Amino acid sequence: MENQKLANTHDQKCRICNSSLIKLLDFGRQPLGNGFLNRVDFKEEYFYQMEIGYSNTSKMVQLIKQPEPEKMFHDEYAFFSSTSKNMSRHFEEFAESVIQSEYIDKKSPFVIELGCNDGILLKHFSSRGIKHLGIEPSENVAKEANKHDVNTVCEFFSENLADKILKEYGKVDSFLAANVMCHIPNLNDVVKGIKKLIKPKGVVVFEDPYLGDVIDKTSYDQVYDEHVFLFSALSISYLFGLHDMELIDVQPQNTHGGSMRYTLALKGSYPVNSRVENLIEKEKSQGLDDLGKLQKFSENVEKSKLDLITLLKDLKKQNKTIAGYAATSKSTTIFNYCSIDENLIDYICDTTPIKQGKFSPGMHIPVVSHSEFIKNPPDYAILLAWNHAKEIMQNEKEFTKLGGKWITHVPKVQIIE
Ligand code: SAH
Ligand code: TMP
């Protein structure tokens, strides 16, 4: 094992602790996950080598190379949070739990959210007249948040920006983030900024896709350009521990195919909930800090790829039509890693207007509106937004009634009967 570890040691250092990264898996040449594009832009399309590595010190699984943030987050960012009703409900509950929590000053509360997108979470603070601020570098989605009376700063968060916010707005009770901490490469700088911004009894509450679920479900499509990290309680404890902060609570979430909500505070300011120790023990027995177990995940991913290609090719041989359902950034990883293009998939349907009429990143499969799916239903639809399976199955009863079938790759490649 030690030799294998050395052979796979990579030049890129861990972004958290600067130790050498051990390469786990190579997904090959990949485009931007949300880089839906027009035909005229095919020639100029950006690609990079997508590989993941692991640090035995910080326990952090991470991309070895990540494209620059400005390439991914800009005024034409294609992901609008409020496209899912379930996510809207989830964030309403999240807001409610923060407002009711012991961590917030009941008289003059102030919350900040990192990556507030179209205001899906902060609008619930705004509507109650609670002082809030969203930090959102993608201008088009930030403008959407402003329409819901959400105050925003259109910049990437950093320690520098924290200094400016502190002067203008003062300290916060709760620093919130959902599906964005795992996007940011320089997390030590982010945590330094957060530490300056929170009150002595302030907390950080954030949630992201959880490494434990990714391993359990072989949901390798959680790896794409934006997701520079796959977190666990082990790696989050390590990161915040470097800054004298500690994990005081953890709460698993069903969103995004399995996420974890982490609550952190300055060391010693709150009792630590027993859920933290329990989860860390569970992670150790699952092997989230064990290189051998992580390498087994890589083998499972390679098998999943072969199974999916075999299934699609078999269906094609039987003259079946196949379409993709929802042009997710996750699907960019699957299609490029498995080399699945228009020879196998006729189109991908998606409800987001900015994606429609464009082509999928890398494989250039046409993206069409949902009404195309209704007009021209395929024999088989690959469930690319498998994390929204319940909501989609509920909406598409007619498709299955007419004989349409769903394909999923999570937790294993199969036709859903
Ligand atoms: N919180 C929303 C959006 C997640 S997508 C949800 O859970 O649905 C990630 C968002 O974070 C994008 O809108 C992106 O523009 C923003 N983002 C990316 N890097 C950031 C950074 N360094 N600081 C603040 N926001 C960032
Ligand atoms: P996500 O998996 O990153 O949340 O992305 C969801 C994508 O799926 C987004 O582009 C919208 C699309 N979508 C549909 O097209 N139809 C649906 O019913 C749902 C829930 C999502």
pLDDT in tens, 214-223: 999 999 999 9
Domain ranges within the chain, ordered by starting residue: 5-72, 81-280, 293-416
**pLDDT for residue 125:** 98
Class of domain 293-416: alpha beta
| Four-point Cα dihedral 394, 328, 256, 146, nearest 10 | -100
Angle, to 10 degrees, between the axis of helix 233-241 and the axis of helix 274-286? 120
Return d(Cα 413, Cα 29) in angstroms, integer: 23
Q: What is the mean pLDDT of residues 60-78?
A: 94
Provide the pLDDT confidence category of residue 8 given band limits of 50, 70 and 90: low
179 Cα–ligand 1 center, Å = 7
The H or E element that residue 212 is part of is helix 211-217
Query: Would the pLDDT of 348 be above 50?
Result: yes
Mutate to test the pocket of ligand 1, among 117, 182, 225 (most ligand atoms within 8 A of CB): 117
User: Longest C-alpha distance within the chain, in Å?
Assistant: 66
181 Cα–ligand 1 center, Å = 8
Query: Would the pLDDT of 167 be above 50?
Result: yes
276 Cα–ligand 2 center, Å = 32
Query: Would the pLDDT of 5 be above 70?
Result: no
Compute the half-sphere exposure of residue 103: CA atoms within 13 Å on the CB side of its CA.
26
Provide the pLDDT confidence category of residue 11 given band limits of 50, 70 and 90: confident
Class of domain 81-280: alpha beta
Average pLDDT along the chain: 95
Return d(Cα 417, Cα 414) in angstroms, integer: 9
Q: For 176-203, how does the pLDDT look when each residue is reduced to its tens digit (9 = 90+)?
A: 999 999 999 999 999 999 999 999 999 9
**pLDDT for residue 78:** 87
Equal fold, 81-280 vs 293-416: yes
Query: Would the pLDDT of 7 be above 90?
Result: no
For 32, the 3-state DSSP assignment is coil
Q: What is the mean pLDDT of residues 113-121?
A: 98
